[in-house]
Amino acid sequence: MKLNELTITEAAEGLKKKKFTAVELTRACLDLIKKRNQEINAFITVSEKSALEEAKAADKLLAAGNGKALTGIPFAVKDAICTKDIRSTGSAKILDNYVPPFDATVIKKIRDLGGVLIGKNNCDAFGHGASNENSMYGPVKNPHDTSKVAGGSSGGSAAAVADNQCIFAIAEDTGGSIRQPASFCGVVGLRPSYGRNSRYGIMPMASSLDTVGPITKTVADLAIVMEAIAGRDDRDATTVPDSVPIYTKALEESLKGVKVGVPKEYYEIAGMDPEVKAATEKQIEKLKKLGAKIVDVSLPHTKYAIAVYYIIVPSEDSSNLGRLDGVRYGVRSKPSPRGRGTEGEGSSQGALYDLYAKSRATGFPEEVKRRILIGTYALSAGYYDAYYKKTQQVRTLIKQDFDKVFNPPSGGVDVLITPTSPFPAFTIGEKANDPIAMYLADVMVSPAAVAGMPALSVPAGVTKSGLPIGIQIIGARLKEAKVLNVGYQLETNN
**Exposure of 399 in the CB half-sphere (CA atoms within 13 A):** 17
* Cis status of the peptide bond prior to 153, with omega within 30 of 0: yes
Query: Is 78 or 259 the residue whose CB approaches ligand GLN more closely?
Result: 78
Identify the three-state secondary structure at position 167: coil
Q: Is 177 a catalytic residue?
A: yes
Interface residues with ligand GLN (CB under 6 A)? 127-130, 153, 172-177, 205, 313, 442
Report the residue count for the chain: 494
Strand pairing report for 168-173 and 74-78: parallel
- Do 179 and 456 form a contact (C-beta atoms < 8 A)? yes
Query: Is 114 or 155 the residue whose CB approaches ligand GLN more closely?
Result: 155
Query: Is 319 or 333 the residue whose CB approaches ligand GLN more closely?
Result: 319
CB of 371 to ligand GLN, least distance (A): 8
Query: Is 139 or 175 the residue whose CB approaches ligand GLN more closely?
Result: 175
* CA–CA–CA angle 204, 217, 287 (5° rounding): 100
CB of 158 to ligand GLN, least distance (A): 12
CB of 171 to ligand GLN, least distance (A): 9
End-to-end CA distance of the chain: 22
- Taking Cα atoms as reference points, which of 186, 206, 185 lies closest to residue 80? 206
CB of 208 to ligand GLN, least distance (A): 13
Backbone conformation region of residue 419, classed left if phi is above 0, alpha if psi is from -120 to 50, else beta = beta
Query: Is 15 or 306 the residue whose CB approaches ligand GLN more closely?
Result: 306
Q: Is 78 a catalytic residue?
A: yes
- From 177, 198, 315, 359, active-site residue: 177
Strands of the sheet with 43-46, listed across from one edge: 43-46, 116-121, 74-78, 168-173, 211-216, 188-191, 455-462, 468-475, 415-419, 259-263, 293-297
CB of 68 to ligand GLN, least distance (A): 30
Query: Is 59 or 173 the residue whose CB approaches ligand GLN more closely?
Result: 173
CB of 352 to ligand GLN, least distance (A): 31
| Alpha helices, H only, 382-479 | 390-406, 435-440, 446-451
Which residues lie below 8 Å from residue 117, measured CB to CB, with a gap of 6+?
A: 47, 50, 51, 54, 74, 75, 76, 77, 83, 86, 107, 110, 111
CB of 318 to ligand GLN, least distance (A): 13
What is the sign, positive or negative, of the torsion defined by CA atoms of 313, 316, 317, 318? Answer: positive
Query: Is 15 or 205 the residue whose CB approaches ligand GLN more closely?
Result: 205
- From 47, 88, 153, 198, active-site residue: 153
What is the sign, positive or negative, of the torsion defined by CA atoms of 202, 78, 214, 23? Answer: negative
Query: Is 134 or 164 the residue whose CB approaches ligand GLN more closely?
Result: 134
Q: Which residue of the chain is nearest ligand GLN when measured via CB?
A: 177
Measured in degrees and rounded to the nearest 5, phi and psi for residue 266 equal -70, -20
Q: How many whole angstroms separate alpha carbon 422 and alpha carbon 107?
A: 32
Which DSSP string do the residues of 63-125 spell out, in sequence order? HTT---TTTT-EEEEETTB-BTTB---TT-GGGTT---SS--HHHHHHHHTT-EEEEEE--SG
Which residue type occupies 185? C
Please identify every residue annotated as catalytic: 78, 153, 177
